[in-house]
Structure 1
Amino acid sequence: MWSWLSVALSGFISISASESNQKMQAAVFKTLTMFMLVVMLWSQESLVGLAVWWVTLGLIISALADSLYLFNKHKRLCFSAYIGAQLCYSTSFWQQLSGEIVWWLPAMLLAIGIVVFFLMLPKIDKLIFPVVIMGMMLLQLNWAAGEVWLFSGTVSGSLGFLGTIILTLSAGLLAVHDYRHPIAFGRYLISGSYLLAHALITASLII
């Protein structure tokens, strides 16, 4: 319990610092938040496997991407890092599967993704290519986590799936907030949901 409270407090400080334009403090506490999630993963002696390694790598890459984003540097590297982190998370879910693929799930996710894309198209007309690339990556991440949830039917599986859905929502809000028009309390909503998504994906391996 105290570990999760520490993660929440560190995340809140990073969000508040970002809102106050204290970029260094925001970067330090966001990195600390990711590091604490890594420590929580590896403090579970029973957790040994490729999934833990992939999630750990995803958290580390996410911390790098967040720092680049906060300081508005190396935008292409920042975008690639976010894609890399999502790929690490999806790999951690895919390697947990051993049964048959449920094809209605990707079909449903793809249909929802297409509808959302066309609804957002007037707001992201200049960002179509990066949005499509990230959307495809997030779609397969949602698919992988959803497959694990359907296959296992456990609480941990549902947490992982929920985490990937929230991560997708956060990315969509970020695209609109940064590149089209600001959303009321957008930074708190985007950053809060982003950190919650990472915490849920981590929790899916711990709980």
Structure 2
Amino acid sequence: MLSWLAVWCSGLLHINAAYKGPRWQFYLFKPLTIALMMLIVVTGGEANTYAYLVLAGLLFSLFGDVFLMLPKDRFIPGLLSFLVAHIFYSVAFWLQFDGTMVWWLPSLLGAASVIIFLLLLPNLGPLLVPVGVYIAVIAQMAWGAGEFWMNTHSQMAAYAFGGALLFMVSDTVLAFERFKGPFRASVVLVMSTYFCAQGLITLSAISG
């Protein structure tokens, strides 16, 4: 319980610092929030393949956070780090699936992804291919989590699916903020959904 309180406080301090400062607080508490979740997986979960894959996903998410926070924004390294994180999460989710595919889910996720990509397309420029690949990877990650949940209806799978969907929401808002233009509520929307997404995926690793 105290571990999750520390995660909540750390995430809140980062969001507050994004609007009000100080800058050191902004830079410290974003990666610290993810590092605390990693600690929860290490100390609270079973030593199994799923937990190790989630831990790897959290680690590459931490790398991505650092790249995107640097004074000279490293968007491509950050994008690649999160791409690897989503691949680890995807493998974790798909390894749990053993049943009949539900094909309406990828159709729905695919349609939503295409719409998002087309809305961003006029502003992507040279990042068209990397962003397109990223959207496809995160959509199939959510698909894997969804198939896992619909096949088992377990609490573990529900956490995973909820986290994957929130990750899509967070990244969609971030993409519109970056490529369409910033708006005041973007930070709280992106970071609250992001931290909740990672928290739910972390919970899935310790509830199996």
Give yes or no for TM over 0.5: yes
Verify the 8 A CA contact 1:97 1:148 in the aligned structure 2: yes
Equivalent residue number for residue 108 of structure 2:
108
Q: Is residue 49 of structure 2 the alignment partner of residue 50 of structure 1?
A: yes
CA deviation after TM superposition for structure 1 residue 198, in Å: 0.4
Verify the 8 A CA contact 1:65 1:79 in the aligned structure 2: yes
Normalized per residue, the structure richer in helix is: 2
Partner Cα separation in structure 1 for residue 21 and residue 62 of structure 2:
18
The CA RMSD over aligned residues, in Å, is 1.9
Comparing 51-60 with 11-20, greater Cα deviation is found at 11-20
> Which string of whole-angstrom CA distances, capped at 9 and with x for unpartnered residues, describes residues 72-106 of structure 1?
34332221111111111111111112233333321
CA deviation after TM superposition for structure 1 residue 44, in Å: 2.5
Verify the 8 A CA contact 2:51 2:206 in the aligned structure 1: no
Q: Secondary structure at the match of 1:43?
A: helix
Equivalent residue number for residue 195 of structure 1:
195
CA deviation after TM superposition for structure 1 residue 130, in Å: 3.0
Alignment of structure 1 residues 21-40 onto 2, 5 Å: 22-40=22-40
Comparing 126-135 with 179-188, greater Cα deviation is found at 126-135
Partner Cα separation in structure 1 for residue 124 and residue 60 of structure 2:
28
Unpaired segments ≥5 residues, structure 2: none
Partner Cα separation in structure 1 for residue 49 and residue 124 of structure 2:
39
> Which string of whole-angstrom CA distances, capped at 9 and with x for unpartnered residues, describes residues 17-58 of structure 1?
23345444323212221111111112225x121111111011
Comparing 50-59 with 95-104, greater Cα deviation is found at 95-104
Partner Cα separation in structure 2 for residue 121 and residue 19 of structure 1:
29
Sort the Cα spacing of 1:103 and 1:68 in 2 relative to 1 into closer, same or farther, 3 A.
same
Partner Cα separation in structure 2 for residue 162 and residue 139 of structure 1:
13
State how many pairs are aligned.
Answer: 205
Letter of the structure 1 residue corresponding to residue 56 of structure 2: L
Letter of the structure 2 residue corresponding to residue 113 of structure 1: S
Partner Cα separation in structure 2 for residue 111 and residue 178 of structure 1:
22
Sort the Cα spacing of 1:172 and 1:138 in 2 relative to 1 into closer, same or farther, 3 A.
same
Verify the 8 A CA contact 2:163 2:196 in the aligned structure 1: yes
Equivalent residue number for residue 4 of structure 1:
4
Alignment of structure 1 residues 1-207 onto 2, 5 Å: 1-20=1-20, 22-44=22-44, 47-71=46-70, 72-121=72-121, 124-126=123-125, 127-207=127-207
Partner Cα separation in structure 2 for residue 22 and residue 69 of structure 1:
18
Partner Cα separation in structure 2 for residue 81 and residue 35 of structure 1:
15
Partner Cα separation in structure 2 for residue 133 and residue 74 of structure 1:
18
Partner Cα separation in structure 1 for residue 23 and residue 67 of structure 2:
11
What is the identity percentage for the equivalent residue pairs of Structure 1 and Structure 2? Answer: 29
Partner Cα separation in structure 2 for residue 3 and residue 21 of structure 1:
24
Verify the 8 A CA contact 2:60 2:82 in the aligned structure 1: yes
Verify the 8 A CA contact 1:62 1:82 in the aligned structure 2: yes
Letter of the structure 2 residue corresponding to residue 8 of structure 1: W
Unpaired segments ≥5 residues, structure 1: none
Sort the Cα spacing of 1:88 and 1:14 in 2 relative to 1 into closer, same or farther, 3 A.
same
